[in-house]
Amino acid sequence: MNMDWAAISALITAAALQILAGFVLYMVGRWLIGFAIGVLSRVLTARNFDPTLQRYIASILSVVLNIVLVVAILGYFGIETTSFAALLAGVGLAVGAAWSGLLGNFAAGAFLVIFRPYKVGDYVIGGGVEGTVTEVGLFNTIITSPDNVQTIVGNSKMSGDVVKNYSVHPYRRVDRTAQLAFGVDPLDAIARLKPALAEIPNVMAEPSPDVEILDFNERGTVLAVRPYCHTDHYWQVYFDTNKLIAATFGAAGYAAPFTVEQKKAD
């Protein structure tokens, strides 16, 4: 059998050049996609768009442009793109049926971006998790808890759950209680605590701290101690308030609270 090596060599060369051209087309397309997304991000940043919305738009645009790039390369190689589009649609339906939960997270993420019950940087409780929102993605919300643990929560769970956003308002209340013993004058304790609370760093002057009689129990009077602060300073004010209560009552010489049964036992 005589083989036309010249024709075979020409075919191999043409195929290699076509593959090389396809690879170059892919690399150039990827660079153009990255460039377009970068330009879009800079434009959105210049227009003061929310960072969460920026990432969401960039993610969607990246997926769409990459699909267009793949279809264009297949068309360059002579593959019928209409058949590929039909195949892609069929695969999409099959994947959609198998990944209904994932698509539910995607749809929920779109609603979260539109209605914006929270954004990156907000301190929230949602989906059974408490912490600072560090990212709102296509499918998940990433929350970092106060003990610096990253938790990934599906967007469908976040959108279907009650969400408490502590960052919407300019301040929040720190709720503490102080137990007084029988015989201790609660008005004297209130007079000592109120001015001292105002001296705690980051406690707001307006609204001013609340110190009021909250309840009575078997140990004595219970005071409500409630300073106000920005969310960023919540835990610092929380712990400083605890230390202040202990130091103030100790300096005043207040007796330790005991129940009647404990006193009888002593």
**What tens-digit pLDDT sequence spans the chain (266 residues)?**
455 666 677 777 777 777 887 788 888 888 988 888 888 888 878 877 767 667 777 777 887 788 888 877 777 776 665 666 666 666 666 555 545 566 677 778 778 877 889 999 999 999 999 999 998 887 889 999 999 999 999 998 998 889 999 999 999 999 999 999 999 999 999 999 999 999 999 999 999 999 999 999 999 999 999 999 999 999 999 999 999 999 999 999 999 887 655 555 55
C-alpha 230/C-alpha 228 separation (Å) is: 7
Find the radius of gyration of the CA atoms of the chain: 32
CA-based nearest residue to 69, from 112, 111, 110, 34? 34
pTM of this prediction?
A: 0.61
Sequence letter at residue 33: I
| pLDDT value, residue 173 | 96
Tokens of 39: 């330009």
Helices and strands per DSSP (H, E), number in the chain: 8, 10
Q: What is the maximum alpha-carbon separation in the chain?
A: 116
Would you state the pLDDT for residue 73? 78
Q: What is the pLDDT of residue 149?
A: 96
Q: What pLDDT is recorded for position 1?
A: 47
3-state class (DSSP) for residue 266? coil
pLDDT of residue 89: 66
CATH number of this structure's domain 118-165, picked from the four choices 1.10.3720.10, 2.30.40.10, 2.30.30.60, 3.40.50.1820? 2.30.30.60
The helix (H) or strand (E) run that includes residue 177 is strand 176-179
Cα separation, 189 vs 212, in Å, equals 10
Domain boundaries, the chain: 5-98, 118-165, 172-263
Q: Where are the alpha helices (DSSP H) in 47-153?
A: 51-76, 81-98, 100-115
> Which CATH fold topology does 5-98 show?
Helix Hairpins (1.10.287)
29 vs 23: CA distance, rounded Å:
10
Phi, psi at 2, each rounded to 5°: -85, 130
Q: Which two structure tokens, joined as six digits, stand for 186? A: 């609660």
pLDDT digits (tens, 9 = 90+) for 124-134: 999 999 999 99
Taking residue 174's Cβ as centre, other Cβ atoms within 10 Å add up to 24
Reported as half-sphere exposure (CB side, CA atoms, 13 A), residue 170 has a value of: 6
Assign domain 172-263 to a CATH class. Answer: alpha beta
pLDDT at position 141 is 93
Is residue 184 within 8 Å of 220, Cβ to Cβ?
yes
Please give the DSSP secondary-structure letter assigned to residue 82: H
DSSP state of 161: S
Q: Cα dist. 217→79, 143, 186, 258, 259 in Å? A: 82, 39, 13, 11, 9
Q: Distances in Å between the alpha carbon of 20 and those of 31, 74, 150?
A: 16, 14, 43
Among 73, 63, 59, which Cα is nearest to 29's?
73
- Which has the closest alpha carbon to 28: 79, 56, 65, 1? 65
Return the pLDDT at 199: 95
